[in-house]
Amino acid sequence: MDSATRSSSLLERLSALLVREPEDREQLISLLRSAHQRHLLAADALGIIEGALAASEMSVREVMVPRLQMEVVDIDDSLGEVVARVNTTAHSRFPVIDRDRDNVLGILLAKDLLRVDEKAIFNLRDWLRPAVFIPEFKRLDILLREFRVSRNHMAIVIDEYAGIAGLITIEDVLEQIVGDIEDEYDFDEADANIQTDHAGGYRVKAQTTVGEFNEAFLTAFSDEKCQTVGGLVLHHLGRVPRYNETVDIDGISFRVLRVDSRRIYTLLVHRLPMAS
């Protein structure tokens, strides 16, 4: 069978599958999944389509970084303080506030700091970009379209009383559609939960059970309240940690390599030196 015949056959099969117009979203998804089962639609493509459909029903509030977890810069911070915050968080954009998180003056792009003349007087106001404010009930698909048109990558989320509720980035929206965007600290699903890190120490999946961790590091953490290493860190802090934040628990150092507003993904683990 030549390529033209095969292509025609695939089109006919897909047309036959979709010959009846779906009456609702559930039926559409069912048809798409059936197309995947018949090898007419790749798994990645199906996942993206389902993610896009889900995003059209989700609001900004469901995926935003909450107000208290926003990494911000104060308008009165010195150049050294701002650079230190950029290096600590590794973020590319920061809301700039005037003492209060409800008073967002604008957005600072970390890359703009490369153009700062260290010999001149530094005034953070000179480097501010306009902030975009959006309501917390805006749909994700609409926000993504606005991001694309305006070329903005961050928006400040406000509540019904015009207070700051949080922030959201274009990456937050895209991850809801295409899945988690991987970085150098991501594991494949098949990878071991605990791996040696090239910089020393061990990279540990936050989903690693406390029992597995105890066995690997000869520790004695209790799993009565927390079953995973990520849960252990969350319980110890009482909140979701920030990127690059270090937590020391019973002689073990946990540095957060990857985290979002809701969960920890990857930790760098070191055993602390014994006190003399």
Structural domain contains residue 6: no
- What is the C-alpha separation between 73 and 94, in angstroms, rounded? 6
Average pLDDT, the chain: 82
Rounded to whole angstroms, what are the CA distances from 59 to 29, 48, 63, 174? 20, 18, 8, 13
**pLDDT bracket for residue 81 (50, 70, 90):** very high
Q: Does residue 4 lie in a domain region?
A: no
CA-angle at 248, arms to 244 and 251, nearest 5° = 140
Indicate whether 253 and 201 sit together in one domain: yes
Residue 182's pLDDT is 47
CA dihedral 118, 124, 130, 133 (to 10 degrees): 130
| pLDDT tens by residue, 26-47 | 777 777 777 777 777 777 677 7
Exposure on the CB side of residue 154, measured as CA atoms within 13 A:
21
Mean per-residue pLDDT, 142-155 = 91
Q: Looking at the predicted structure, is the pLDDT value of residue 173 above 90?
A: no
* Closest listed residue to residue 243, CA positions, set 231, 261, 229: 261
Name the residue range of residue 213's domain. Answer: 194-271
**DSSP string computed for 62-81:** GTSEEGGG---EETT--HHH
Mean pLDDT calculated for residue range 85-93? 84
> pLDDT grade, residue 76 (50/70/90)?
very high
Dump pLDDT digits (tens) for 212-267: 999 999 999 998 888 899 989 988 988 888 878 899 999 999 998 887 766 788 89
Are 128 and 107 within 8 A, CB to CB? yes
Q: What is the rounded average pLDDT of the residues 59-80?
A: 89
Same domain, 161 and 199: no
Radius of gyration of the chain (CA): 24
Kindly state whether residues 36 and 114 are assigned to the same domain: no
Q: Lowest-confidence range among 30-44, 113-127, 163-177?
A: 30-44
pLDDT given at position 104: 95
Q: Residue 7 has what DSSP assignment?
A: H
Contact 243, 258 (CB under 8 A): yes
β-bridge pairing 154-158 and 133-135: parallel
Residue in this structure with the two tokens 């810069």, named with its chain if needed: 73
Q: Single out the residue in 150, 178, 206 at which a domain terminates.
A: 178
66 and 169 fall within a common domain: yes
**What percent of the chain is modeled with pLDDT above 90?**
38
DSSP string, 111-146: GGGGG--TTSPP-GGGGPBPPPEEETT-BHHHHHHH
